[in-house]
Structures are given as structure tokens and as C-alpha cells.
Chains A and B, each alone.
Chain A
Amino acid sequence: MKQDVPFSSKRLLLTLTLCACAVILLQNHDLSADLPFPLQMGSLAAGLAVCLLLFVPSIWLKLRLDSDVPTLARKRSRAEQSVVAAVYTLYFLFVAAYFLLPYTDMFCKKYYTETSPAFVALLLLACCVYAAYKGVNVITRFGIFLFVLALVTNALLFGGCISEVDLRNGSFDVTGNMDVFWRDMLYYTTPCFTAALFACLSGDALRFRPRHVVASLAASGVKYALVMFFLTFAAGAYAERQAYPTFVLSRVAHFGSFAGIESLYMALGTMSVFMTVSLLLCGVTKMWGKGGSLRVIAVLTAVILGVQLLALRYPFITAVLTSPLWLTGFTVLTATVIPLVYALRERRQHV
């Protein structure tokens, strides 16, 4: 399978936007209901501003050198390439577990209570193997289809919740607990994992402009803000009583007697997680210079499934793998520190 097919930068960023939006679809009491809505929005803006900052070194690499981390690592010694690839592999496996664990849990809690989460993960990963084998170009093409589905689902989700909006359900105070503000901000920095994906996959992207990244994060921000608005003012305290409060919006959405779009919501969640995990697998194979190698992809998938099984057995592993603090910390290293080191090195060489 030919892997290094160039693709449009817009298409890559559209795909990354959809991956970033998967975070809010799987929201499970990560955000506090006590924070007033204006502070919630402030926390969201601050979180996304941090995400934008984390993109800066890889944007520089792409603009100035038209390159990405795997390409630059390959130019160095074999040992250095292996170390960098190992760090990214660990990170991408971590992110894959970060998404798969809440997704399978939500699927089993909301849909099939008698099915094992490990079995759901196995089926999804089987599809991801095939997608990763096809490569980034094909996955980003799938992103266009998913974008249309996301538009339809979001229109139904938000349109169907309008009649339930009651501004008394939330608060418009501008003062609140700042500890909660920072904790929520940490959650809103979660989409920064797309910066690590960008650092790894942007080498083959054509006609890149920095505004694509800004537009991608702004679109994610709008989606998050709308979800938070309807969650606060339409679902209110009711959503807090259930696991996965954002999912409750899909049950609240109704047009007359037609109520509930949870199937569409679950389809969007499934496809977003599928696309994210497939891109992560592509990222790992690209780091090792084994793009399209079915054997490597299969081994990685088996490792992800193994981690999933361990996490289901030992709750402390789940707690670590789904912690936004760990994710953001690890992302700073892979999305910013490593690309920054390469940017400084290349700059020194050119000077």
C-alpha cells in the first residue's frame, strides 16, 4: 500500500477538528456543573489558547521546512530516530486508550449492557487496522463524509434541544471557584493531542496555511461552547445524574413527538473514535518508517487491546489512562518540546 500520497492540508485539519470534537462527545463528569456559564466559556477559551500555543513549533517546521518530526528524525542517527519513535509510540498508545476506554464504557452503559467493553473495543480496532493500512490520505477522505454526518447530527442535537432551554437552569455570574476554573481548563486542553498528530502527519500535507489550525481550533471551540450551553441550560441538573452527561442531550433532543437521536450521536461518536485511533496508528507506523505495514499495525492494535483489557481489570490503570493531566503533560512533550528541539536545531544549521 502506497502511504506517502500527498493530501490537502485543509482536509487534514478538518479530520483533526473532528478528532478534537470526539473529546466532548465522550464527556463523563469531567466538567463541573458549579462553574457559572461565562467562567465556563473563559475556561474553554483559555484551554483552546493553550492548544494553539502547543501547535506553534510544528507549524514553524511545516512553514519553514515543509517537514514534520518523523522526516526530520530520519535524517539523524538511527538511535535518535528510535528514541523519538518510541516516545511517540507510547504517547499514541496512551491517547488510543484515552479514547477507547470511555467510548466502550459509554457504548455498553447506554446501549448494550450485556456486551463486554473488550469485545466492542476488539471490533472497533479491527476496523481501525484496515483504515490505518489504507493510510492518512484515505482516512482524511473519510473525514469529509464524517464532517457531513457531524453537521446533520449537531443540527438535530442543538435544534432539538432549543425548546428545552431554560436560562434559570444555569448562572450568568462572573465570579466562581477558580480551582474549578483551572480544572475545567485542563479538560479543555485535551484537544491538543491533535497538535501531536499534526507534528507527525503534516509532512505530506499540501498548501498549508497557519489559519487552517486557527480555524480548526475555532470550530472545535464553537462546538464545545454549543454543547456546554445546551448542557447547562437545556439538560441542567438532570444530566448530572447520569453517566456521560453530553450523551443526555441526544435523548433530550426532540421535534414534536419524534424524540431521541442517540443512534446518530452514537454513530458520530463511534466514527470519530475510529478515525482518531486509525490516525494514531498511522502516526506510529510513520514514526518507525513502516507506513502501511500490516504486521506493525496488527502488533500495535494487539497492544492497545491488551492495555484495554488490563484497564478493565485494574481501575487504577483506567484512572491514569483517562486523566487529562497526564494527557496534557505527555502532549506538551510530543507536540511542542520535540518539534521545538528540531526547529531550533534546523534554525541553527540554516544560520
Chain B
Amino acid sequence: MRAPDTNDILLEVERVVLSFGGVKALRDVSFNIRKGEIRAIIGPNGAGKTSMLNVINGFYRPNHGAITFKGRTRAKMQPFEAARGGIARTFQNVALFKGMSALDNIMAGRTLKVRRGLLWQVLRLGPALAEEVEHRRKVEEIIDFLEIETIRKVPVGRLPYGLQKRVELGRALAMEPDLLLLDEPMAGMNLEEKEDMSRFIIDVNNHYGTTIALIEHDMAVVMDLSDRVAVLDHGVKIADGTPDEVKRSQVVIDAYLGVAH
């Protein structure tokens, strides 16, 4: 069993406030993610989980608060800068490049690692070709790992949902991220697909040592996979701790089941 060997903080979210007009999506949320752990963010619908991920990778700019990633604090950031910093992400509703094959989608994930510029790529000779082959080799490792060898040349638009989710995970892995944000990786999957996906998440964490933050509604999965769980409700963090602690917390039970007033 893997355990985060250090208490190194990879990402620190401090007192983040995010509002859209009068709607407060996040109110004063603070939490941290330790290096090497699997961190779950749960909460009822509309609790602000996806907004939290969007703030972390620069998609939304928080109204207040600070985010410290790898020791560097920043207020605003463009999404591609977050990517450059080592944050990868998958989406709740798959966001693949529909016209491209599974292989090209994952190859596109290598963009930040490409060193040769336009003029070399035009010629596609010598170092440029060698680099392309090297990226292909890395991508094939990921394809092997995710067991999608047979579909590598199929346009992703033609793939079933479960496989699309896997290709999307592959694209995120191709970036060799330090922090991987998974937004409901198991939404809409059957039991078997969920088991596969859980296995991949644990393997990514073990094998590549990637820190993972995931949003998920399937409590069994969350409790089995994660090291620590943060619970959001109406934009407020109501609980934070190990799965066991969270499971026993009365506030969390109330948030999920509702309380009589």
C-alpha cells in the first residue's frame, strides 16, 4: 500500500473566494494537497467542486485568496501557464479533440515537451524526426498502460464513452504532470469500467508518482482510493480528513441527506 512518504505540500489553496455576480461559488475555501497523495473533493451537486478545479488550473480567477503551487504563490494565471507548471486535467464531460485519432490526441498532450520548432518540423529530418519518434515511444508506453492499443488510430469521435475517458486520461498523462486533476473520472460508467478506471488511477499514482486530485460522486470509489477527502457544500468546506473521519462526520451526513429544520 502506498502512503505519501513526506508531508510536502504540493498545492496550497488559501481562503479562496469566487463569485459570479451575486452567486458565491466558493466562500473562503482553504485546503492543501500533499505530494504523492490522492486527494478527493466531494460534495453534493452545485457545491463548487468543479469551480475549485477551474480555479486551480487558471481557468477562473478567484476574487480573493491565493494559490501556492510548488512553493510559488500566484493570483492569476492563464490555463496554458498552469499546464506549463505541471498541472494536467480531465473534464467531467469528455473534452477530446474529436477529429483526431486517439494516438494524435495523446500525442497532442506532448506539446509542451516538443523542443524543435516550426522550421525543423517542416523538414521532419534528423533531430526533428528523432524527437517525433521519441515522443511516439513515450505515448505508446501510455497506450500500453491504459490498454487502448487496438483503438490508437480510431478517430475519438467514434469511440464509446468509457474509452474516450481513458484516452482523455492518456492525454493528461502524456504531459507528465506533477498534479493531475480528474473531474468525475467515473461518471456514467458501469461497474467494470469503474474498476478499470480505479485501477488506472491507483497505478498512475504508484507507477508515475503523480499527485492526484479527483472529484467523484461514487462514495465507494472515493473512500477506497483517496488518502484524504475534502467536502464542499454550497461553496464552503465543511469537512476535511481521512475517508473514515469524513464518513463519520455528522455535518457531511447532513449535507448529503439533508436535515429536518
Query: Are A and B associated in one complex?
Result: no
Residues of A within 8 A of B (CB): none
